[in-house]
Amino acid sequence: MATTTGALALPRRYEGGVLKWLGTTNHKNIGILYLTTAFVFFLVGGIEALLIRVQLGAPDNTLLSPETYNQIFTMHGTTMIFLFAMPILVGFGNFAVPLMIGARDMAFPRLNALSYWLFLFGGLLLYSSFLLGGAPNAGWFAYAPLTGTQFSPSHGMDFWALGIILTGLGSTAGAINFIVTILNMRAPGMTLLKMPLFVWQMLVTTFLILFAIPSLTVDAILLFLERNFGAPFYVASQGGDPLLWQHLFWFFGHPEVYILILPAFGIISEVIPVFARKPIFGYGAIVLSGIAIGFLGFTVWAHHMFAVGLSPIADAVFSLDSVIIAVPTSIKIFNWIATLWGGKINVKAPLLFAIGFIAMFIVGGLSGVSLAMVPVDFQVEDSYYVVAHLHYVLFGGTVFAIFAGFFYWFPKMTGRLLSEKLGRLQFWTMLVGFNLTFFPMHLLGLMGMPRRVYTYDAGQGWTLPNLIETVGAFIIAIAIGIFLHNFFASLRKGQPAGDDPWDAQTLEWATSSPPPAYNFAVIPVVHSRRPLWDQKYPAQAGGEPAPAAQTPTLPEGERPAIHLPGGSLNPVLLAFGLLLAAYGLIYTPWLIAAGIVIVFAGIIRWVLERR
């Protein structure tokens, strides 16, 4: 159904309301779906974190039983990684990448929608476990043999495996979509080395997803086969090996953390130049270091396994690779500082969060380097020191970058600015709360407190740091509350943003806020890395005499002849069929059959659909 209007191009009967959203294939709408859904999961994961912190706020606390606590921390990790951080970064990618490369949409719009629905349904499947016999309780990393039916008899781990498989399918499909889009649909003149850095980091990230997520999907399938069909992969007594799980899992798990940080690097690499009002310092180094991190990220997985009894030589090799990865990472940090250096910095909320990101990521990076040293890791592995490290890079890093992205792109998505005052209040509150919560954890690890413990003894000396951390967690909660207030208030009556409120540099700011469904009336021709900036400030174009990007507008009332993909309900249908089949795998073959029928119906309708 090809129609061209300012609104989403759906057959009339789909316009508006729930059906519009169920059938959307527009990258901006899908991006918004990802962002809002992932943010809801962030709030849920945050509540789980608060429960953990209240339970640990006092020794021998009885707020949560050990079984409940173990489900809560398992779901906290699983939610934050698979249902918040990955999808929200993909959400930014979905919204911004086609705009930044001058395209009208992703290469495969329906596949894009399918990725979203698989994410949502995978998340709902996971959370339904709370009502269906108990949530998964063996940690987000689900080490065998604890995850086998002998030690985890309830269905919790089956929900975990199937939820991971569903969301993983969505991620893999999304990765293919991004790679094809970025490699094939850039505007004329935009060579790879003229792409915005956010697009570069998304490209590397989606290659990581393409190679890492299938490893996790296979692990989860093997686990499901072991639990339900007696397959012997991870059980020693049947000839299997628990370490097989760890190798397969961390082969995914380490690239996963780069999947979580590279898009954040990309957001920071967009925000800092715009607010410093100069180009990124060392564009080429940022590109190369991103590729290096992506590649090296696959060679370090066993640094999560230093204590399992690998030979010292194996330990040393993985240690060396882990140390080497610190080099491209530190290059980026210096490049960002050098970008700020000599700038005329416009200190607004996106920039505050970006600076906070760099400041916190430096701490997380340093603790990461300490963990790469095997003997140090022998002591602090699986202790609160690691919890400190991972939260400095994932919260101090990724979450701060996500808020930088929110404050940066919210005007483009909605046409209104978020409140600057509330943004600053949130930033400082979050910074204080975050450091209070996670800095003492370095100390707790050195004091011998292991991870994943539901309580501790008053005599162990861990009480005061834990109490401070609990207070800090509630300060973070206040900061999030400030953001929510800011978000809803600004949606309704925020200051109108205009097309380019930040005087930015890349193509998405050359459209209206929000952009029309077709993004650009005429696809721009690109001649530089900062097409919009060079168009606005030709004198600053640094001696490049070529004409800057063209984003002409058409005469009033005239409609461009643009073919846009119409909406389609087949993605949500197909995802729903897979969801039914997943429940069927736990409960009854009838549901598997029903699910498969719906999946096939969806595929056939998809193939025959007239575009």
Partner 1 sequence: MVKYLKVFSILVYVALLAGCAGGPAVLSPASPGAGQIHKLTSLVFWIALAVFLVVEGLLIYAAVRFSRRTEDSMPKQTRGNRRLEIGWTLAPAIVLVVVFAVSLRTLRLVAYQPSATTAAGNVIHVRVVGHQWWWEFDYPDLNIVTADDMHVPAGAVVDLQVESADVIHSYWVPQLGGKIDAIPGHTNQTWFQATQAGTFQGQCAEFCGVEHAKMRLEVIVEPADQFQAWVAQEQAPIPTLTGVAAQGQQAFLGGACVGCHTINGTQAQGKVGPNLTHFASRKMFAGATLDNTPENLARWLANPQAVKPGNKMPDLNLTDTQISELVAFLESLK
288-327 positions binding partner 1, by CB under 8 A: 307-309, 312, 315-316, 319-320, 323-324, 326-327
Please identify which residue in 333, 523, 525, 603 interacts with partner 1, judged by CB under 8 A. 333
The neighbour count for residue 65, using CB atoms within 10 Å, is 11
Classify residue 554 by its DSSP letter.
P
Applying CB under 8 A, does 243 fall inside the site for partner 1? Answer: yes
Residue 445 interacts with partner 1 (CB under 8 A): yes or no: yes
The span of 11-19, 92-100, 209-217, 333-341 binding partner 1 (CB under 8 A) equals 333-341
Touching partner 1, residues 367-406 (CB under 8 A): 367, 369-370, 372-383
509 DSSP 8-state letter: G
Residue with tokens 């086609």: 98
CA distance 318 to 305: 10
Near partner 1 by CB under 8 A: residue from 178, 258, 283, 353: 283
- Is residue 439 at the binding interface for partner 1, with CB under 8 A as the rule? yes
Segment near partner 1 (CB under 8 A), from 115-123, 134-142, 181-189, 580-588? 134-142
> What 3-state DSSP class applies to 503?
coil
Q: Figure out which of the listed residues 447, 521, 523, 594 binds partner 1, where binding follows CB under 8 A.
A: 447
Distance from C-alpha of 366 to C-alpha of 496, rounded to nearest angstrom: 41
Using the rule CB under 8 A, give the single segment among 63-71, 178-186, 204-212, 549-557 that binds partner 1: 63-71
CA–CA gap between residue 135 and residue 141 (Å, rounded): 14
- By beta-carbon proximity to partner 1, the closer residue of 15 and 503 is 503
Instruction: Note whether 557 binds partner 1 by CB under 8 A.
Output: no
Cβ(161)–Cβ(224) under 8 Å?
A: yes
Distance, C-alpha 83 to centroid of its chain? 8
- Residue 560 DSSP label: P
Whether the Cβ atoms of residue 507 and residue 20 lie closer than 8 Å to each other = no
Residue 59 interacts with partner 1 (CB under 8 A): yes or no: no
Other beta carbons within 10 Å of 421: 10
Instruction: Kindly state the number of chain residues that form the binding site for partner 1, as judged by CB under 8 A.
Output: 105
Options 22, 58, 149, 279; binder of partner 1; rule CB under 8 A:
279
Counting Cβ atoms within 10 Å, is residue 457 exposed (0-12), middle (13-18) or buried (19+)? exposed
CA separation for the pair 429, 422 (Å, rounded): 10
Q: Please tell me whether residue 571 binds partner 1 under the rule CB under 8 A.
A: no
Sequence-distant (6+) residues with CB within 8 A of 229 are none
Q: Does 248 bind partner 1 (CB under 8 A)?
A: no
Query: Rule CB under 8 A: is residue 428 a binding residue for partner 1?
Result: yes
**Residue 219 binds partner 1, judged by CB under 8 A:** no
Among the candidate windows 27-35, 92-100, 232-240, 584-592, which touches partner 1 by CB under 8 A? 232-240
Does the protein bind partner 1 through residue 146 (CB under 8 A)? Answer: yes
**Contact range with partner 1 by CB under 8 A, out of 89-97, 198-206, 459-467, 560-568:** 459-467
In whole angstroms, give the CA distance from residue 563 to residue 533.
Answer: 29
